[in-house]
Amino acid sequence: MKKYNFNAGPSVLPDVVLEAAAKAIIDFDGTGLSLLSISHRTPEFEAVLNEAQSLFKELLNIPDNYSVYFVGGGASTQFFHMPANFLGTKAGYVNTGVWTKKAIKEAKRYGEVKVLASSEDKNFTYIPKGFDIPADLDYLYICANNTIYGTEYKADINSPVPVIADMSSNILSRPIDVTKYAVIYGGAQKNLAPAGVTFVIVRDDMREKVVRELPIMMNVNTHIENNSMCNTPPVFPIYVLRETLKWMKAEGGLQVIYERNQKKAAMLYDEIDRNSLFKGTAEKEDRSAMNICFVMSEGNESLADEFMAFAKDRGMVGIKGHRLVGGFRASCYNACPVEAVEALVECMQEFEKLHK
């Protein structure tokens, strides 16, 4: 049976990328060696790394005064790397769910944390807006897309202080104005690569703003100065990342991917709103295009398990909602094809007919 992969992360990658990765494990770019057994200091691998960086810059339209580096440890490591580097006295955080809560907890080890706004009052079903950003903060921290609750910032924030953003689950899903951010980072396993590589994009002026003496591997300057090669970088995930970026470019670039993502999200949200058995959980204006959360509508709660089994029989994978939200979550990342969303919509329609 054909499977439709809606996993939240690690998640779906394009078939051509998987094929290239499989081939490289046997014979890396014609070297006669496996990608898994080469030195990361070979010219062949350095070319892969450099191409991944330059494609990242090209696709996201990253200006020249920014560096892009790749490192292990996941987004969770950046939760403490960011305040370790940049929190001298006081930082502002917007609390939009589990991932910002974790980031706030880590930041408190390094300085004062002001939670400028929070959507906890409504179980993080919306993005707080219109909050004040004091000019004396070292930085403002946000999570651009809340993977668990399906909420997303639709506009880049105007801030008087540097903005640090976790974009783990919506990086390269839509165009952004990179100049509005001082640092953008994320685990690449949601939208770009297998688990194991984290991307970090740092504006040049931040390099002088490191506030304390740090272990070598914690300092952003280490990774920039050594071009992601201070130690052994995650060779295989970086290779797959490059393949994904090549695929994105071949598809027509970020604008094309963005329009496709908008189309997929609209199809699924339209069905959630139309179908009497389901309802969305996130505030409409803040709905994520990447992680689409829904539950059974009032009076139909008891059909949840039946729908899960029904969808599974039709090849849907990974649509169980996070335990903090319940219900269902379809993650429609870049590599999730339109036909997968069509199949899910059809499945919801058939299920409705069964219960009419």
Ligand X SMILES: *Cc1c(COP(=O)(O)O)cnc(C)c1O
CA distance 310 to 3: 14
Work out whether 234 is an interface residue with ligand X (CB under 6 A).
no
Element (DSSP H or E) covering residue 298 = none
Minimum distance from residue 192 beta carbon to ligand X (Å)? 12
Work out whether 96 is an interface residue with ligand X (CB under 6 A).
no
Cis peptide before 10 (omega within 30 of 0): yes
Q: Which of 151, 345 has the CB closer to ligand X?
A: 151
CA distance 78 to 96: 17
Task: Tell which one of 4, 5, 6, 9 touches ligand X (CB under 6 A).
Answer: 9
Query: Cα Rg for the chain, rounded, in angstroms?
Result: 21
CA distance 346 to 354: 12
Catalytic, 121? Answer no
From the centroid of its chain, how far is CA 255?
Answer: 17
Place of tokens 């950046």: 78
Count other C-beta atoms under 10 Å from residue 327's C-beta. Answer: 20
Q: Which of 240, 296 has the CB closer to ligand X?
A: 240
Q: Which of 237, 280 has the CB closer to ligand X?
A: 237
Q: Which of 143, 293 has the CB closer to ligand X?
A: 143
123-133 burial, b for 16+ CB within 10 Å, e for fewer? ebbbbbeeeeb
Q: Which residue of the set 101, 190, 264, 320 is catalytic? A: 190
Catalytic, 136? Answer no
Q: Which residue of the set 57, 101, 138, 166 is catalytic? A: 166
Work out whether 74 is an interface residue with ligand X (CB under 6 A).
yes
Decide: 57 and 65 in contact? Cβ < 8 Å.
no
Task: Tell which one of 67, 119, 125, 147 touches ligand X (CB under 6 A).
Answer: 147
Minimum distance from residue 100 beta carbon to ligand X (Å)? 9
Closest by CA position to 290, among listed 207, 222, 191, 197: 191
CA distance 319 to 316: 7
For residue 122, what are the contacts with CB-CB under 8 A and spacing of at least 6? none
Q: Which of 271, 286 has the CB closer to ligand X?
A: 286
Q: Which of 79, 278 has the CB closer to ligand X?
A: 79
167-206 burial, b for 16+ CB within 10 Å, e for fewer? bbbbbbbbebebeebbbbbbbbbbbbbbbbbbbbbbbeeb
Task: Tell which one of 6, 99, 110, 236 touches ligand X (CB under 6 A).
Answer: 99
Decide: 82 and 114 in contact? Cβ < 8 Å.
no
Interacting residues with ligand X between 207 and 226 (CB under 6 A)? none
Task: Tell which one of 106, 166, 243, 286 touches ligand X (CB under 6 A).
Answer: 166
Segment near ligand X (CB under 6 A); pick from 34-42, 68-76, 215-223, 298-306: 68-76
Work out whether 76 is an interface residue with ligand X (CB under 6 A).
yes
Segment near ligand X (CB under 6 A); pick from 15-23, 149-157, 165-173, 177-185: 165-173
Work out whether 187 is an interface residue with ligand X (CB under 6 A).
yes
Q: How many residues bind ligand X (CB under 6 A)?
A: 12
Catalytic, 320? Answer no
Work out whether 152 is an interface residue with ligand X (CB under 6 A).
no
Residues with a catalytic annotation lie at 99, 166, 190
> What residues make contact with ligand X under the rule CB under 6 A?
9, 74-76, 99, 143, 147, 166, 168-169, 187, 190
